[in-house]
Structure 1
Amino acid sequence: IQQAAAAAGTSPPELCERVSGLFRQALTQAAVSFTDFIRTSEPRHRRAVLHFWGALRDGGALYKGAYEGWYCTPEECFLPESQLAERRDAQGRPCKVSLETGHQVHWTKEENYMFRLSAFREPLGVRRWLRDNPRAVSPEPFYRRVLRWLDEDLPDLSVSRERSRLQWGIPVPGDATQTIYVWVDALVNYLSAAGYPEAHGEWADGFRYFLLRQGVPERDCDYYEEKVVKVVNSELADALGGLLNRSTALSINPSNTYPCFSESCFPKISDYSGEKAAGRASAEDYEFVASVASLPLQVAGCFEGFQIYKALECVALCVRQTNSFFQRHRPWKLDRKDPAEQLWLDTIIHVTLECLRVYGTLLQPVIPHAADKLLSRLAVEPEERGLSSLTFLPRYDGEPCPFEGRQLGPDTGVLFPRLEKSRQHQRETEKL
């Protein structure tokens, strides 16, 4: 930050004020809400850092010692020889760079405060505890990485820098020649946001959906515009949005209500083994209803395990099944003048809207604007949108459905507009 501010001809506080404003703006545009927005330049964070430093010092975890080695400024760390390679700089002079990133390193020697990391390895029994608690670190590849890391020597960690070259930061208490460095500053931010030491406590929806749908926690995800357009259009605009439009169209549902479910058309059976029921529903319909019924618990489990991409994969599969159900029975072909046909038509729409209500509820954390629009169209009130009280197709189990007969909400147009490739991308594709 100090170097970037100098290069921009401004001060670190001014630079941080500008960048922080950009983050706030981006969060607002992406519909990301937060209980707190904290900056490490705030007084409450400074108090937390000073208290934390004092606790480390009083516990004997800090000492002052000479530190030297190859330092990489962009990576903010010292690197051992094993992680370096010989290269030549822009002037053709030999230099050393980081093997992993290619950033140039410089030999640095200075007196810093050191954290006795090595002293915490065995007394805490970290390796033994981790092996006894394999789910303590998730996802699993990171668990294996931590175990490998603990098998290596744990060197003491430099946690301050000379203030003569790093004025931006919190001074070490009682030593004006040193600045507290990032490991005992930025990382304490999680504590200060919780009240430590006093107490503990289109770009938007589409891009957000894509990142969570494609992003795997243990590795990077590939991003390119064509893939974003394809995923968002097929799963949100076409599959989900198209299903809502078709099932609420006045040509299908002229009364614009949440129609009734007919138990005679879709009678309950003991299992989904493929037996033919007396009603109009097929064995495939029973399998599909079972899939949607199990979805809330499935999604909740994936969310708990931070496997959001798996949750969205399950939702997308059920959305496709619902489209197949709707298409299979062709409600637009049914004769409303025939009472039996009208019962079946209403049941098809009721099941479809129930599915959409489940999808809208489950997708609220991922596509908040579109989910709100969908649930509002189905006339689902804000207090009826919680996961804990989500019950799918209660009428199938002989229970009353609070939505049955309810007037649908206003039609505000397309749920999710289809994305178009940028003109620049189209031109490049045409050239190819």
Structure 2
Amino acid sequence: MKNTIYENIETIAPIRALLVGLNIGTDDAEFERSMDELKELVKALDLEVGLTVTQSLDTPDRSTYIGSGKVEEIRASLDMFDISIVIFNDSLSPMQVRNLEKALDTEVLDRTGLILQIFARRAHTRESRLQVEYAQLQYMLPRLAHMRTSLSRQGGGSGRLSNKGSGEKQLELDRRRIEHRMAELRRELEQVERERGTQRSRRLSSGIGRVSLVGYTNAGKSTIMNSLLKLYGSDDSENKMVLEKDMLFATLDTTVRKITPPGSRPFVISDTVGFISNLPHTLVKAFRSTLEEAKYADILLEVIDFSDPEYRHHMEVTKETLVEIGAGDIPVIYVFNKSDLLQKEQMESGQLVMEVPRSLDDRIYICAKADDSMDALVELIEKSLSGGETVEKLLLPYSQGAIYSSLGDKKAIISTEYLPEGILVEARLSKAELAKYEEYLN
């Protein structure tokens, strides 16, 4: 049996990686944050960090990115620290990868390739698998020539980590066959997108409020989704729970669930892949159809890990990504999750203790696993969803029972009176509903 790097990851022992970061005039604190994030990405792929090497240059070296001297330093460390793969914190050109692999005689992976591998492992639905495969092929195409080279240190090129998933199948294929496969994937994705559009249209026509969870990866979106389902979901909520794990990109697949809080209007809530600094453009493009779920929301819940010292940076990244996908103008509720950890620190240090949960206008401080936090969050969602509504009276003919049922399902009806000429309803109506039911206004 061929002994490949990926097989080692899965069945034998963690592969040791050497991490490389190049600081090109970046603030030291920001550079350190970026390197720490790289370590978390490596951890998400079950790799072990054997050594971290950093370099400072005014501009990247065109040939090797970090310069020949630093390359020699890394080469001397490979056997000493039992390193099997070198991972860079930036995107590398195909030529730089080729030169580095030739000089180091081991596999080299850049940040984009690393995130692609995490996505390949996390993708479970048909749509996300198609999206990841397309992004991998797009990434692989300009690198195809050097991928054919067999590296002695790896025991053959086809088992390399950077060729896992679609690459593992496509490595020996020529450019034309890869482009043919990409065309097939585009057609399949267009079909899936049409199906998603049909589902989305049904939700839009239902009149039920639409809420979308967005935010930096590992901020607690899945925990909030599960907590809402546990408290306000249907009888089979246990089967609709999503994966919760303290790991970057623990979940990729878009989920949409209906939440029905007692005494409040129901709403549907969606969750999709989290954001991260320098999210590869190929992935943003490939996942656009799922990321765009946020575009059709009435409200965005931007989940922020308030216990992370870098939470302000995470908010900036989220803001930039939302603008990129066309969701930058949708109203946002800022959900500062894990606020209880700060509360605990304040109690231990004798400081003035912040209240959790606590809401202030468009922001709320919560603990995603606490029932009272979810009650407060639902109350703020209810307030936001009703912001553009007015209370109106409608006289509905008895033949328009579907409208009455729709308003009832939304818990928008305040009072009902049955008259000979029809049903007199007092209800909360959005601007869209007001225009839609204008002929029945009383």
> Is the TM value for this pair above 0.5?
no
| Structure number with larger C-alpha Rg | 1
Q: TM-score, normalised by structure 1?
A: 0.29
TM-score (norm 2): 0.29
- The structure carrying a bigger strand percent of its residues is 2
Q: Which has the higher contact order (CA 8 A, sep 6+)?
A: 1
